[in-house]
Amino acid sequence: MEFRLDKTGNIHVPIGKASFEADKLYENFAAFMEALKKARPAAAKGIFIKRITVATTMGPGIKMDANMAQNLKSEE
């Protein structure tokens, strides 16, 4: 999974398209969260993910609970 980090520490990653079914978007998001946890440097201290906002390309963002999102499991 490929994602990018901007200079302010925000991660931008596409998890699907608006035409995807909700189950597929959930699976993609859960797989991204697992990949992000694996990519965390061992030397990173403190809170690694502070806030999560999901949005369409030009739409308003929807805030998510970061703790709940980190506990998602993909079904793969």
Q: What is the pLDDT of residues 12-55, one digit of tens each?
A: 888 899 899 999 998 998 898 888 888 888 888 888 888 889 88
Residue 56 near residue 42 (C-beta atoms within 8 A): no
* pLDDT at position 60 over 90: yes
Select from 33, 19, 23 the least CA-distant residue to 73: 33
Is 22 strand, coil or helix?
A: helix
Q: Is 15:29 a contact under the CB 8 Å cutoff?
A: yes
How much is the pLDDT for 22? Answer: 92
How many residues are recorded in the chain?
76
| pLDDT mean over 49-69 | 88
How far, in Å, CA of 22 to CA of 37, rounded? 23
pTM: 0.78
Predicted confidence at residue 3, as pLDDT, reads 76
